[in-house]
Amino acid sequence: MLKLNAIKSDKIWGYELWVASTHPNGCQQDFSSFVGGDYPLLVKVIQANERLSVQVHPDDEKAQLYEGCRGKTECWYVLSADEGAQLVYGMNGVYTASELRKAIQANSLEDCLRYVSVQPGDFIYIPAGTVHAIGGGLRLLEVQQSSDITYRLYDWGRGRECHVEKGIACIKNEGVRDVRRFPGVFSCPYFTLEEIYVEQSYSTQIGKAAGAAIPGDTVLFFVLDGSGSFNGSPAKAEDIFAVAPGETVEASGDLHMMQITPAEPRHRPAPAARS
């Protein structure tokens, strides 16, 4: 078991804590050594004091074509939210590439967006190709593919570089799910999340796959709230622990945790990192 220390990245809108990462742009060397290489997921805590840009991430195919790396499917669990806090989650209609270019040029893209109000405990799944933006006054747990590719479509007049053509090419005009409370268990092609409530004590063993262990066999436990002990180490809100295959987890106290398990197929080679 390894308790991880976050890497902080300050932003104009707030900051990110990279709490589990082997990505070159923010690699925890002890975590990289623990898993034995390139972990397929990147886990962050995002503190948004102001709204982020309107953006989209490429899927694996587009990311490999444009950048030579993984795509970026992700999800958010709302840790805290100011009253009235909102997200951009998809668009309010189906728009052509030409219509989107015109809206961006006219600084009216915000009229095409779908806004949703959120509160602590809400869960939002963002498959690659979904237009999205985090609003101000939100703190989120983000679980994503290990990728740092973002195509900014619109930045609310702040003047930062946008990536309109690549971004528009990556948009998928597919319906988004309703924002809802976390359902207890969620799975997608890249990860599985499971909510765990520890009342006094909890024990489980992390399974071992056939063959030699790979980095993606390691399972993460993120403390959503509460306090207690995790394999003998003090545990509190926003602590995260990496557990190797075959290890036993022993937790005690009053802990609300999220178990994060990669779902990337064992036969899939890790895409090359962009130099």
**Each residue of 192-211: pLDDT tens digit?**
999 999 998 999 999 876 66
Average pLDDT over residues 19-39: 96
- Which of the pair, 267 or 153, is modelled with greater confidence? 153
Beta bridge partners of 132: 55, 89
pLDDT for the residue numbered 146: 97
Query: DSSP class of residue 177?
Result: P
Q: Under a CB-based contact definition with an 8 Å cutoff, are residues 73 and 127 in contact?
A: yes
Q: Hey, what CATH class is 2-182 in? A: mainly beta
pLDDT for the residue numbered 178: 87
Query: DSSP class of residue 186?
Result: E
Judged against a pLDDT cut of 90, whether residue 123 lies above it is answered with yes
Judged against a pLDDT cut of 80, whether residue 273 lies above it is answered with no
Q: How far apart are CA 144 and CA 215, in angstroms?
A: 16
- Considering the four listed CATH numbers 3.50.50.60, 2.60.120.10, 3.40.190.80, 3.30.70.1560, the one that applies to the domain covering 186-262 is 2.60.120.10
Average pLDDT over residues 228-248: 97
Sorted by sequence, the CB contacts under 8 Å of residue 44 that are 6+ apart come out as: 16, 17, 18, 19, 21, 141, 142, 144
pTM for this prediction: 0.93
- Name the pLDDT band for 272 (thresholds 50, 70, 90): very low
- Residue span(s) of the chain under CATH 2.60.120.10 come to 2-182, 186-262
Q: Under a CB-based contact definition with an 8 Å cutoff, are residues 253 and 69 in contact?
A: no
pLDDT for the residue numbered 216: 84
Q: How far apart are CA 138 and CA 85, in angstroms?
A: 7
Measured in whole angstroms, how far is the alpha carbon of residue 235 from the centre of its chain?
22
Residues that are catalytic:
152
Judged against a pLDDT cut of 50, whether residue 270 lies above it is answered with no
Query: DSSP class of residue 45?
Result: E
Dump strand ranges (E) for the chain.
2-3, 7-11, 14-20, 41-48, 54-56, 74-81, 86-91, 113-117, 122-126, 132-134, 138-145, 151-154, 180-181, 185-187, 191-205, 219-230, 233-236, 240-243, 248-262
Average pLDDT over residues 82-96: 96
pLDDT for the residue numbered 264: 60
- Name the pLDDT band for 271 (thresholds 50, 70, 90): very low
